[in-house]
Each structure stands twice: as structure tokens, then as C-alpha cells.
A and B are shown apart, each in its own frame.
Chain A
């Protein structure tokens, strides 16, 4: 490392801000200064702790940089390694499976829940069930995942249930059997109804204008026709949000993999996010990890754009 302490690099940021501020001030009326001062802390923090790391990711991806060693510029070598990395191929395949499954269940199941609640007779009941389905959100995600790990264990609830109904042949260590590990990870959180998506759908359903629903009723539309022709088009905005959130979550989430399987057995449950984590914090290969992170970012960007375009077109179609 050089003699100059690292933090001095940050002096540049307020300096640039001050200079540009002074420049702007020479041109605008007085009294605006305190407005810029009010925004300064926010802008300063974002520049240092959010934008700087984001830019740094692009930079580091071009280096071989093992923690404790020197950083060497290697151009696009990290990306060549990515193309040749078998484990990464496997993990991307897993990610796609997880993403498709997550997308399907997080779009469908909470909608069923929200519709069922929406059709309840009294507001009291509707409120009660909404509250009920939000309660699980206060349990830390890690605790929920750990409980599921326990349910799947050799003498856990799933196996005991199977034995109890006479299917003892099916019992296994669900997370340690290469054949079932990925599916077991997918089903963590079953029946996928609770929390955030349900509330989003419910908010969407309650925002449908009364007049539309009344008109459908007068025309004698069946429940299915009302759902198909009024509810679905009116909540397409919510679909977009949830689809995007599911894709982002599946592309970057690896908490449950880290807690339950650590990518194993073999690499049957390895996902790119966890592989990146391993490369950075177990193998100390920061450059390679940043390259994987960058690739994931681009995939998420593409996935999000594709979803938004795709769902908008169906929206126009149904209208």
C-alpha cells in the first residue's frame, strides 16, 4: 500500500461538491445555499458508499485481486474464466430453475390468497386475514429458513409425516439427497401466500373502481369472467412489480442456500450469488467475484427489462 492513508481519497468528494456548489452559487440567488447544504449529507453518503462501490465493481472485475496480494490488471480474463467455469454453468442452470419457480409461485399463490380474502363478506374478516398473513413477516427470514432446514432433516416433520401416512420409502434427507435438494430449496416458504405480495395484490384489487365491478354484476358476469376480464387487467401493474421483484430476488438471493445447503450436495444447489460469495470470502478472489457480480447485474437488468416489456404487451392486448 502507498504511504497516503486510504481515507484521504474521500477528501476529493466533498471538495468537488464544494467547488461545484460554489460555481452554482455564483450564478444563483442567495438563500439557495442552505438548500444545497440540506442535500449535502445525502449526496455525500450516496457518492461514497453506494456509487463508489458500484463503479469500483466494474473496475475490480478487470483485475486479479486476491485479498492480501497485489492487484494485477488482466483485462477481460475474469470473464473468459467465467465462460469456462463448469460450476458457474451449473449454478446458472439452477438459478434459472429457481427463478422460474419463484416467479410462478410468487405471482399465482398470493393472488389466490388475495382473491379469497377480497371475496370475504365483512370488512372485519378481510382485515383479520390480511393481518394474519402479514404476521409471518416479522419472523426474521433466517429463523424461517432454519426452521425449514429442521423440517427437512432426517427425523424432521416431512419425513415423520411421510412415515405416518405409510410412505416410509419416500423418506430421505431432503437437503442432502442430490436428487431432491434443489426442489427442497424451492419449496421453502410453502404455501408462498403470506406477506408482501399478498398485500400488493390486495391493494390492487381494492383500487378497482366500484363502478366496473357493479357493471359486471348487472351484466350477469360469472365470477370467472369478472376475474379474467376485470381483475387481471386492472392488476397488471402489480404483476409487473411482483415479477420484477421475483426475478431480482432469484438472481441475487442466496441466504437460504448459504443456510441450508452451502451449494451442495456436489453443486446441485449452487447458485451464482453464493458462488460469488464463496469466491470473495472463502477463496479471497475479489476480482473474479466482482466479475460474477457484474454479470449477475447485467442479467438482472436484462430480465427486468424483458419482463416489463412482456407484461406491458399483454396489458395492451387485454385492453
Chain B
């Protein structure tokens, strides 16, 4: 039994090490100059070239700013729209409610590959290519379905008594939403927000297709361009990858528990 336990632990550590090999490689080589990279491929080297980061930062900063802008607006849009819709569907009875809910979540079955080309044509016809809006509108519209799906369950799980007593005390609909619904569903809202931010920050194909103007490009497309232009300057390139991961890493460190719950919220079983 003891032996098995130790073996299992070793296997787990081995898996962890293998998982982190590419990232350790990235970290170690991000502070090497070009000759250092070729001469001492395996080991960390001195002196440490932090100027790689300065160089990379100058390059990726505009992309990071664009990504922050798009991600923030998408986040605000998705969370406000989906909490209002989910609350309405979860806490009120009215004709057509179930039909509307089905209409909303049915879109989850339509894959991105089917709509990529027609969506592109639509935004092209609307004259929105090469704007932030082509990303924000598409992400908000597409992202709200999953958020509503998860949030509806959260709002429905709040005991009705709370809302009934508030109503008796004369609270208006918006007050019940804002002072009871939102605070009590807050952990789930946080989890949904994290999933949404992660998806927006990492999306690549849509910005690649719709935004060719470099000044409006987001970080994923920026890294792609950066990688093809930098060729041999691996240090700066790798530093750029690390800088691009920092905002989400900070987010993760601030809300680890929320993050882990967010990943498993919603449909974890079929």
C-alpha cells in the first residue's frame, strides 16, 4: 500500500513536470540573448537579459491595450445582459417564457465553424470590419447564451421567500434583482465572468479574420505577427508570450478558487 502510494505520487509529479516543460523552456529562454540561446540551450545562463522584456513590451503593449479594451467591454456586456435575462426567466412566469429560454440555449448547438463565414459576411456588409465592435458584438451575442444557461440555475436556486418578503416590503422588480438576486448569485456570476474573460482573451480565428488593421489587433493576433516577424530573436519573442499571459495569470492568482469553480460550473454532466 505504502509502495503504491509513493509510486502514484511519483507518477503525478512526473506528469506535472512533463506538463510544465514547455513553460519552463519559455521562462528560461526568455532571458537569454541570441548567442546564449544557441550555445547553452539547456541551462539557464548569466547574465540575465531582462531587456528582452523591455523590447517585447514595446512591441506587444498596443495589442495588450486593445485586448484589455475588448475583453472588458465584452465582459460588461455579457454579464449585464445575461444576468438580466437569466433573472427574468428564472424568477417570473409569463407566456412564452420556456419557448424564449429554449430559443436562447438552442444557439449553443450551432458550432462556430458553421457561422464563421456568414458572420464575417454580415459584419462586412455592416461595415464593421477593422473596428473593436466586430469583436465585441460577436462575443457578447455569442457568449451570453452559455452565461444565461448557467445563471438561470443560480437565480432559480435562491429561495423564493426572500423575494416574496421583499415584495411585501414594497421592493420594486429592479430592487429585488439588484439587492437580492445579484449578491446571492455573485459566486456563480464571478465564475461565468472568468470563463468569459478567458475565452475572449484567447480567441484567435475571429480577430484574425475580421481585423486586418494592426492598430486594432488584439494580443493573440499580435503574438502571431510577432512570431513571424521576429525570426531568430527568440528571447524577446518568448518574453512577449509571457507578457501576454500575465493579465490572466494575475486574474487567476487573485481568484484561484473562483477560477477552478468557474471551469466546472454549468454542464459538467450530460
Q: Give which listed residue, A32, A240, A297, contacts B269 with CB less than 8 A.
A: A240
CB pair A38 B84 closer than 8 Å: yes
B11 vs chain A, min Cβ distance (A)? 6
Report how far A204 CA is from B270 CA in the complex, Å. 12
Cβ of A190: which chain B residues have Cβ within 8 Å of it? 18
B25 at the interface (CB under 8 A from A): yes
Number of interface residues of A (CB under 8 A): 96
Q: Which residues of A contact B263 (CB under 8 A)?
A: 134, 137, 195-196, 199-200
Q: Indicate whether B187 reaches chain A with its CB closer than 8 angstroms.
A: no
Residues 142-177 (chain A) with a chain B CB within 8 angstroms: 142-144, 146-151, 155, 157, 160
List the one stretch of A49-57, A85-93, A210-218, A225-233 in contact with chain B: A49-57
Q: Let me know if B252 and A38 touch, CB within 8 A.
A: no
Complex contacts, A64 vs chain B, CB 8 Å: none
Chain B, residue nearest A291 (CB): B117
Q: Are A57 and B117 in contact (CB under 8 A)?
A: yes
Cβ A138 vs Cβ B114 within 8 A: no
Pair B85/A28 contact, Cβ less than 8 Å: no
Let me know if A204 and B268 touch, CB within 8 A.
yes
Interface residues as binary, B139-154 with A (CB distance below 8 Å gives 1, 0 otherwise): 0111011001000000
Whole-angstrom distance between the alpha carbons of A34 and B259 in the complex?
34
B47 within 8 A of A: no
CB of B48 within 8 A of chain A? no
Chain A residues with CB under 8 Å of B82's CB are: 42
User: Among the interface residues B5, B22, B104, B114, which one has the most CB atoms of the partner chain A within 10 A?
Assistant: B114
Q: Determine which of A116, A241, A301 lies in contact with B15 in the assembled complex, contact meaning CB atoms within 8 Å.
A: A116
Contact across chains for A193 and B220 when beta carbons are under 8 A apart = no
Contacts of A51 in B (CB 8 A): 107
The reply to whether the CB of B113 lies closer than 8 angstroms to some CB of chain A is yes
**Chain B contact patch, size range:** 35 or more
Chain B 226-248 residues near chain A, CB threshold 8 A: 227, 234, 238, 241, 244-245, 248
In the complex with contacts A35-B88, A49-B122, A276-B117, A300-B16 CB distance below 8 A: no
Contact B138 A297 (CB under 8 A): no
B180 at the binding interface (Cβ < 8 Å): no
Chain A binder among B49-57, B89-97, B162-170: B89-97
Query: In the complex, how many angstroms separate the beta carbon of A148 from the nearest chain B beta carbon?
Result: 7
Name A24's contact: one of B95, B140, B256 (CB within 8 Å): B95
Within 8 Å of chain B (Cβ to Cβ): is A135? yes
- Which of B126, B141, B260 has the most chain A CB atoms inside 10 A of its CB? B141
Segment 181-209 of A: residues with Cβ below 8 Å from B: 190-191, 193-196, 199-200, 203-204
Helix, strand, loop or mixed for chain B's interface? Answer: helix
Interface residues in A277-291 (C-beta closer than 8 Å to B)? 277, 280-281, 286, 289-290
CB–CB A53/B125 < 8 A: no
| B75 interface residue (CB < 8 Å to A) | no
In the bound complex, residues from chain B placing their C-beta under 8 Å from that of A100 are: none
Q: A19 in the interface, Cβ–Cβ < 8 Å?
A: no
Decide if B94 touches A32 in the complex (CB within 8 Å).
yes
Q: Which residues of B contact A157 (CB under 8 A)?
A: 21, 25, 41
Task: A168 to B205: give the CA distance in the assembly, Å.
Answer: 37
Cross-chain contact of A42 among B104, B204, B245 (Cβ < 8 A):
B104
Chain B neighbourhood of A112, CB < 8 A: 11, 15
Contact of B104 among A43, A48, A134, A144 (CB under 8 A): A43
**Shortest Cβ distance from A243 into B: residue:** B270
Known contacts A49-B138, A144-B22: A293-B117 contact under CB 8 Å:
yes
**Other-chain residue from A134, A142, A290 in contact with B204 (beta carbon distance below 8 A):** A142
Which residues of B lie under 8 Å from residue A147 when comparing CB positions? 22-23, 25-26, 238, 241
18 inter-chain pairs at a CB distance below 8 angstroms, sorted by A residue, are A6-B125, A28-B94, A50-B107, A54-B110, A57-B115, A57-B118, A113-B15, A116-B9, A119-B5, A133-B19, A142-B220, A196-B263, A200-B263, A255-B204, A258-B205, A281-B120, A289-B117, A296-B114
Given pairs A28-B95, A39-B100, A46-B104, 4 additional interface contacts (CB within 8 A):
A6-B125, A157-B21, A157-B41, A281-B120
Chain B contacts to A: CB under 8 angstroms:
4-5, 8-9, 11-12, 15-16, 18-23, 25-26, 38, 41-42, 81-82, 84-85, 88-89, 92, 94-96, 100, 103-104, 107, 109-122, 125-126, 137-138, 140-142, 144-145, 148, 173, 198, 201-202, 204-205, 208-209, 219-220, 223-224, 227, 234, 238, 241, 244-245, 248-249, 251-252, 256, 259-260, 263-264, 267-270
The 6 closest A-B pairs by CB, nearest first: A237-B269, A252-B113, A53-B118, A138-B248, A56-B118, A49-B141
